A and B are shown apart, each in its own frame.
Chain A
Amino acid sequence: MKITVDYDRCEGIGMCESLAPHHFQLEDNGDLTVLQAEVAPEDVSDVEEAVASCPTGALRLQ
């Protein structure tokens, strides 16, 4: 499964980083970096939680 980010929606709030820090990282300027777009099966539940917790609905896992 793979993470996609809608950068038009992303506001750099950072919930994703707190729930899946190996996949998401906020930069100093608030931009989001996806550290690993591919999600291993053992990480899927953490990343799903990050996707559901995005206040701007900017994340997808498919």
Chain B
Amino acid sequence: MTAPGSAPDRGAPPDPATGRLVVVGASLAGLRAVESARKAGFAGSITLVGAEEHLPYDRPPLSKAHLGAGPGSEPAAPYLREEAHLREELGVDLLLGRPATALDTAARVVHVGGREVAYDAVVLATGSTARRLPGTDHLDGVHPLRTLDDARAVRRALEARARTVVVGAGFIGSEVASAARGRGLDVTVVEAQPTPLARAVGAELGAHVAAIHERHGTRLLTGVGVASVEGDGAGRVERVVLDDGTVRPADLVVVGIGVVPATGWLEGSGLRLDDGVVCDETLWAGAPGVWAAGDVVRWPNATMGETQRLENWTGAADQGAAAARNALDPAAAAAYATVPFFWSDWYDVRIQMIGSPVADEVLVVDGDPTAAGRWVALYRRGDRLIGALAVDAPAEIMKYRTQVMRGGSWDDALAHAAARRERAAGRAAGPAS
């Protein structure tokens, strides 16, 4: 390939009829990479490598519907596609149940178990793994919530009416707490930081969001760490001891203290690893034919003006598709940029965030975050709108995403917010309160 100017040599395109595309990671990003490659007309071989035995499945339901669906039979696994569809219609060679262990960028092979899987282009989409609480691996009843198997174990414990302690007041832990409360169980959430969700939504709003727990009868302890998790003689968890000496009895401990990108298998590959696979704006990972997508990617997101690593559904889906398109046509590789979005459902409350909480100012433009009910806050960076958080305001949030995508100004966002308030007041029978 002859690259114009100083453009990097991202590798030659795989032959559209006989090339070999390997996708490592069989979750949402990996599946979207496969589908996008076929949609782009790639007729060569595609191998999808997955560490778990399961077919690609959807993760958002694991901490939502899967846990809260009431007593009774286990909900069906949220598989994204049927096996026959993957094998026959998409023509995918599925290599499930064993993780990739190494990437050799010189020989252009992925090591999986004892096999070497050769590639012309590879998409790294191994996602992230849940952080564990040190010293708890030997105890039954202590779980992260990341995989389908985790969700099944947590559901079984909730069915057995476990006294539940959630470690970490992030979104996953909070959804688990909601499901447990929805079943009428005793729930304590323990958060080491003084303010929950500070990294996700900023400290000020994190406190307001966290207050939703207390309004729903979930005990939230902040600024206190876990000293130890103790079991009974049979190796089952029995209690959680906190730094301040508090003891909480527990039959189930769900650990929601974040994730780390699954890059251990790439040590020694020569790729740059720094809290993820460091990619350029096109999701190219720095070696010929090597691209990445989903939670493992750290890349310069031009729309937000930040180098980011996303841990959300939308990022995984979009990056999977974009990385495969670029992998098949590296000379025309397009920059990938986005306005991040995530949502979380707690109790009967929907929380949605778009953009970035890294801001110079945060302003509540609708509702009262200290009370129950809907509210909306906007984030300003310089003179532009950079993010928005909506609690139970589904009609509001995406209008701001569109504005951030366009690089909309703060003044325009405030004018929009005022117009929305007027509209709401006009609709209400009485004065808006």
Interface residues of A (CB under 8 A from B): 12-15, 17-18, 21, 25-30, 52-53, 55
Closest to A33 in B: B395
Contact A53 B317 (CB under 8 A): yes
| A18 and B399 alpha carbons, distance in the complex (Å) | 6
Shortest CB distance A9–B (Å): 11
* CB neighbors of A among B164-202 (8 A): none
The residues in B between 366 and 406 inclusive whose CB is less than 8 angstroms from any CB of A are 393-395, 397-399, 401-402, 405
Q: Which of B58, B350, B393, B401 sits near A18, CB closer than 8 Å?
A: B401
Q: Are A21 and B343 in contact (CB under 8 A)?
A: no
The 10 tightest CB contacts between A and B, nearest first, are A18-B398, A18-B401, A17-B398, A14-B398, A30-B394, A26-B395, A26-B394, A28-B395, A12-B394, A55-B313
Contact B394 A14 (CB under 8 A): yes
Instruction: Write the residues of chain B forming the contact surface with A, with a CB cutoff of 8 angstroms.
Output: 58, 60, 313-314, 317-318, 321, 339, 341, 343, 350, 352, 354, 393-395, 397-399, 401-402, 405, 424
- Closest chain A residue to B64, Cβ basis: A11
CA distance A18 to B402 in the complex (A): 5
Residues of B within 8 A of A30 (CB): 350, 394-395
Question: B318 and A21: CB pair below 8 A?
Answer: no
Inter-subunit contact B395/A15 (CB<8 Å): no
Among A13, A18, A26, A53, contact of B318 (Cβ-Cβ < 8 Å): A53
23 contacts between A and B (CB under 8 A): A12-B394, A13-B343, A13-B352, A14-B397, A15-B341, A15-B398, A17-B398, A18-B341, A18-B405, A21-B398, A26-B395, A26-B398, A27-B394, A27-B395, A28-B393, A28-B424, A30-B350, A30-B394, A52-B317, A52-B321, A53-B317, A55-B313, A55-B314
